[in-house]
Structure 1
Amino acid sequence: MTPNELSAALRAALAAAIADGTLALDLEALPEQILVERPRQREHGDWATNVALQLAKKAGTSPRALAEDLASRLGSTPGVKSVDVAGPGFLNITLDAATAGELARTILTQGPAYGRGDAEAGHKVNLEFVSANPTGPIHIGGVRWAAVGDSLARILQAAGAEVTREYYFNDHGAQIDRFARSLLARAKGQEAPEDGYGGQYIQDIADAVLAEVAAAGGPDPLTLPDDEAQEVFRSIGVAQMFTEIKAALHGFGVDFDVYFHEDSLHESGAVDRAVARLREGGHVFEKDGATWLRTTDFGDDKDRVIIKSDGEAAYIAGDIAYYLDKRERGATDVILMLGADHHGYVARLMAVCAAFGDVPGENLQILIGQMVNLLKDGKPLRMSKRAGTVVTLEDLVEAVGVDAARYSLVRSSTDSSLDIDLDLLSRATNENPVFYVQYAHARTANVARNAADHGVSRTAPDGSDAFDPSLLVADTESGLLGSLTEFPRVIAQAAELREPHRVARYLEALAGDYHKWYAECRVTPIGDEEVSDVHRTRLWLNDATRQVLANGLDLLGVSAPERM
């Protein structure tokens, strides 16, 4: 029995109490779904609910009296072994072994689809993340968003949403000018300008530009006037840098559906159209020769200039046009992932959302990620061999590999800063969280191989499936089944809250429950013991765990190894 099925049974019991006059409520007063949760202490049962405490006051009765009535009604539900009333009115529910164990069959029948649902169905999500300036390699803060953003996209899709992964290509503005000047300077053998970019990668890109021009038979940029040479380094250098960024992300398991060029907003007239739309709504005014957006009407601390007095578009003008463009492309949920240094942008962007008549927090959602610190030998690692100033994606992957890098960046809430111990992630021990989870999956595969060697399969000699869930009576079996049951709800909650770390933490708990079960319950016979349906049924449970671990790791973009 799944949590949803148990919730439905509880609601049916409440509806029956209303129908026979025991409960003085209208059906409309009942929640659509009754919340059931795993009790903190296993001996309290498989599931618990406080619905009696929630509804008793409205019904003019005591929580305990309502709980006792529900217990008597629910006790006759097929698959429910017992229902106990605890404290002021909590219900602790225990399922019979056969009902609980049927989950293993469900998981193996559904396979990779187990855990997926429709909680986010109907949502068309435009998820923008990373969006690093094409002026250098992706630094460690951007790497965190690469891991979290891609995992969130996978989780939202598993919950039924239609997701577009989008990368905002900042190819417009002063930072691109500084990048081009830096390339030109290094090509000439000079130091980068004071406000330019340093690091070995600048020399590498400058050399690549010269090589590409030479291969194409073009004039040597160093023989051109500086303004013309700078344009060559701008166009080719930015393309070279962006190719490197995309290749690094692809190697990290992250690809995008849309690469949106900032420059296109200005060239296509999208900025002018967005400003005109806001002007029609009465949210734009003129002052001091500039055009302003009245964002204070929507909670911002001050109004914002969108077109400067010299006629140039302010930075926020691009953001305005870009948001409108996403909505016009059909996105119902525009999600932006920004670094901690962008916290001040939240109020003004939410004001833009409201000015277009949308709902801040719904049509526009902004996630702020905190800093990442890498530790090596117990000390902060701050410098990259290639970038010179920051640690990059390539540095992290070189140190610990893609799986450990992705998992370590996803397993903590983005609301908190993150310290990553590179030495810990390099160890093949249970202290390393990604190893702990991956090892659990590898162990399930090893158990299946050993079972085959001992003549244990999921089918009996007569060809039947030999699955008897009533045999799964050990406490560790009940605990493991309970954890497996939670997976669909964990996905739905992670999607709703936009918190991929919930999946990682769930996998660690599931791995722990599996390791406990493995230590107590054998799948293979000992000595001359004959293979029985207990062994076969336990193999079903082992393989079901293997499937859920693989499904969960896939949501995080982490591999599920068969051997370790």
Structure 2
Amino acid sequence: MTPADLSLTVLHAVRRAVGDGALRVAVPERVTVERPRPGGHGDWVSSVALKLARAAGRKPLDVAEILKERLQRSPGIAAVDVTGPGFLNLTLATGAQQRLVREILRRGPQYGWCAPTGQLARLSHRADVRAAVTADALRRILLSQGFLVRTSCEDAADPAWAELGVRMEAEGGPGHPPAGIGTTTPDPAPHHPPALIAPRPAPHPTRELVRQLGGAAARWGLLSAAAHDVPRLGDDLLRQHEGNPLYRVRYAHSRSRALVRNAERLGFRSAAEEHVEDGRVLADVLGDHPLVLASAARLRAPDRVARHLEAAADALLDFQHTVLPVGDEKPSAAHRSRLALAEAAGTVLAGGLSLLGISAPDQM
């Protein structure tokens, strides 16, 4: 069960409670879940009962107990505990890891994507290279979350941005319609001002960045720092060393693909048949991917995707050595399950890099 699936499960429990009269409250549009803090328990935590209590005219603990009764009957949930003032602690049923891995492999690089919402997100960015690349990455991320997206530049665009994969729609100010789309289609939300994308500017012009770093390293350097931080744009982004986060992420993806190729030579393929206990950290990171994409879209923060990819890469690189049989070992269900988890990690890394506009080489 993915975080998005679990959020829907909790939301359905709220709807059932309202539908059968146990709660009198407006059903929220969405419900969030998050990982428990240190010292907590369960796999996920939701504070929905605390948020609904005042509107329902009930104590948070009472609301939590009402929702607990309905959540306990939900497939995929093994246990629901109410803690503190009314937090719902959710423990997933046995087989949740296998279902997660199968879901990632089924969805491929589009794991974490949402169905089209019909909502329009309008972005306007300053006429500097970091703002342009950030807006381009946000366009990709917002599209993955089901939005229609229109971007514009406040001033004339730099033609060199194209060397960094930036796709221009309009320039010269947010009132200019996107080329090809806005010129023929009326803007359904003209009264909503576009979100201004204005991260701290890069200290180098576009052509110097491209000449020094190339497209992939330049984009990573511009996108991986928070908007208020100075971007890291030194030659260390080109080093094939574990201290270079871009190299670690791309190398981890290539290791995932190499494991799949080596397994084929040994005569077996991936299959999520068993729970991989020492792969729990990796599985947890992969399970967070949809939440990371949603928060990156909501907060207009592509650096969250970059940091998440670093965490996934580190978890995979720690796990990779246990995947293939050693010596005279014969491939077993455990090996197939480990390989499936590693393959799923590579899938998430490739999908995340694509949203940042960066390729994921199969070999390095």
Indicate if the aligned counterparts of 2:129 and 2:202 stay in contact, CA closer than 8 A.
no
CA distance in 1, matches of 2:205, 2:176: 32
Residues 544 and 98 (structure 1), Cα distance of their counterparts in 2 relative to 1, 3 Å cut: same
Partner in structure 2 of residue 511 of structure 1: 313
Residues 517 and 65 (structure 1), Cα distance of their counterparts in 2 relative to 1, 3 Å cut: farther
Indicate if the aligned counterparts of 2:33 and 2:44 stay in contact, CA closer than 8 A.
yes
CA distance in 2, matches of 1:325, 1:18: 44
Partner in structure 2 of residue 251 of structure 1: 163
Q: How does 1:398-547 map to 2 (within 5 A)?
A: 398-414=211-227, 416-420=228-232, 422-458=234-270, 466-468=271-273, 471-474=274-277, 476-518=278-320, 522-547=322-347
2:247 counterpart SS class: helix
Q: How does 1:319-468 map to 2 (within 5 A)?
A: 323=175, 330-332=186-188, 359=191, 362-373=192-203, 391-414=204-227, 416-420=228-232, 422-458=234-270, 466-468=271-273
CA distance in 1, matches of 2:224, 2:264: 35
Aligned-pair distance for 1:325?
5.4
Residues 167 and 370 (structure 1), Cα distance of their counterparts in 2 relative to 1, 3 Å cut: closer
Structure 1 unmatched runs, 5+? 132-141, 171-241, 263-318, 334-357, 374-390, 459-465
Aligned-pair distance for 1:552?
0.6
1:83 counterpart SS class: strand
Identity %: 38
Aligned-pair distance for 1:397?
2.5
Residues 51 and 412 (structure 1), Cα distance of their counterparts in 2 relative to 1, 3 Å cut: same
The partner residue of 1:161 within 147, 152, 172 is 147
Partner in structure 1 of residue 79 of structure 2: 82
RMSD: 2.9
CA distance in 2, matches of 1:122, 1:12: 23
CA distance in 1, matches of 2:360, 2:74: 38
- Give the counterpart letter for 1:365 in structure 2: A
Residues 364 and 96 (structure 1), Cα distance of their counterparts in 2 relative to 1, 3 Å cut: same
1:91 counterpart SS class: strand
The partner residue of 1:558 within 341, 358, 362 is 358
1:330 counterpart SS class: coil
CA distance in 1, matches of 2:139, 2:121: 11
Residues 60 and 6 (structure 1), Cα distance of their counterparts in 2 relative to 1, 3 Å cut: same
1:323 counterpart SS class: coil
Partner in structure 1 of residue 96 of structure 2: 99
Partner in structure 2 of residue 150 of structure 1: 136
Residues 325 and 404 (structure 1), Cα distance of their counterparts in 2 relative to 1, 3 Å cut: closer
Residues 513 and 44 (structure 1), Cα distance of their counterparts in 2 relative to 1, 3 Å cut: farther
- Give the counterpart letter for 1:146 in structure 2: A
TM-score scaled by length of structure 1 = 0.58
Residues 70 and 157 (structure 1), Cα distance of their counterparts in 2 relative to 1, 3 Å cut: closer
Residues 149 and 419 (structure 1), Cα distance of their counterparts in 2 relative to 1, 3 Å cut: closer
CA distance in 2, matches of 1:37, 1:437: 24
2:288 counterpart SS class: helix
CA distance in 2, matches of 1:372, 1:507: 22
Indicate if the aligned counterparts of 1:372 and 1:420 stay in contact, CA closer than 8 A.
no
Asked which structure has the greater CA Rg, the reply is 1
Residues 323 and 47 (structure 1), Cα distance of their counterparts in 2 relative to 1, 3 Å cut: same
CA distance in 2, matches of 1:81, 1:48: 14
Aligned-pair distance for 1:410?
0.6
Task: Report the more deviating stretch, 503-512 or 111-120.
Answer: 111-120
Describe the superposition over 1:223-243 as per-residue Cα deviations: whole angstroms up to 9, x where unpaired. Answer: xxxxxxxxxxxxxxxxxxx9x
Number of equivalenced pairs: 360
Indicate if the aligned counterparts of 2:213 and 2:237 stay in contact, CA closer than 8 A.
yes
Describe the superposition over 1:35-80 as per-residue Cα deviations: whole angstroms up to 9, x where unpaired. Answer: 2112234972221111222233444544334434433432232211
Aligned-pair distance for 1:418?
0.7
Whether 2:105 is the aligned partner of 1:112: answer: no
Partner in structure 1 of residue 3 of structure 2: 3
Q: How does 1:116-195 map to 2 (within 5 A)?
A: 116-118=113-115, 121-123=118-120, 125=122, 127-129=123-125, 131=127, 142-166=128-152, 170=156
CA distance in 1, matches of 2:111, 2:194: 30
Aligned-pair distance for 1:113?
2.6
Residues 252 and 444 (structure 1), Cα distance of their counterparts in 2 relative to 1, 3 Å cut: same
Indicate if the aligned counterparts of 2:253 and 2:362 stay in contact, CA closer than 8 A.
yes
CA distance in 1, matches of 2:117, 2:226: 21
Residues 514 and 325 (structure 1), Cα distance of their counterparts in 2 relative to 1, 3 Å cut: closer
